[in-house]
Structure formats: structure tokens, C-alpha cells
Amino acid sequence: MNCWHCNTELIWGGDFTFEDYGLEDDGIVSNLSCPNEECETYVEVYLKFKDEEDKEDKTNTSEKD
């Protein structure tokens, strides 16, 4: 993944959970930063987990083929 602004390849800083960010949903926040000193872009990628089967859906398990 390259920097939106200068197209330098971003450096992956780490992954955090939504819980680390105080968010209610479950997911992963990936941190990336641009190594270009003249740019210093910082990127956070929010990936929200789909929780169709996790939440309060214990009654209907026979919908799949």
C-alpha cells in the first residue's frame, strides 16, 4: 500500500483492536505511516468485523446451503 499523497510505500506500524480505540464494534485498526520526511502522512485503516453470526442469532442456524 502506497502513500495517498506521495506514492511512497507506507510502513506498517501495527494493528490495534477497535476496543483499543474505544469503539463499540469489533474490528482491527491498522496503522501505517509514510517514511517520506517531507510528507509524514499517517494512515489508519479501519476493518470492521462482520458479526452476523455472533450477535443474538442463536435461533436460526439452518439458512445456509
Residues forming contacts to Zn ion in the complex (CB under 5 A) are: 3, 5-6, 8, 34, 36, 39, 41
Closest approach of Cβ 32 to Zn ion, in Å? Answer: 10
Closest approach of Cβ 61 to Zn ion, in Å? Answer: 47
Pick the closer one to Zn ion by CB: 8 or 28. 8
The CA-atom distances, in angstroms, between 5 and each of 14, 18, 22 are 21, 26, 28
Pick the closer one to Zn ion by CB: 9 or 54. 9
What residues contact 5, with CB distance under 8 A and at least 6 apart?
Answer: 34, 39, 41
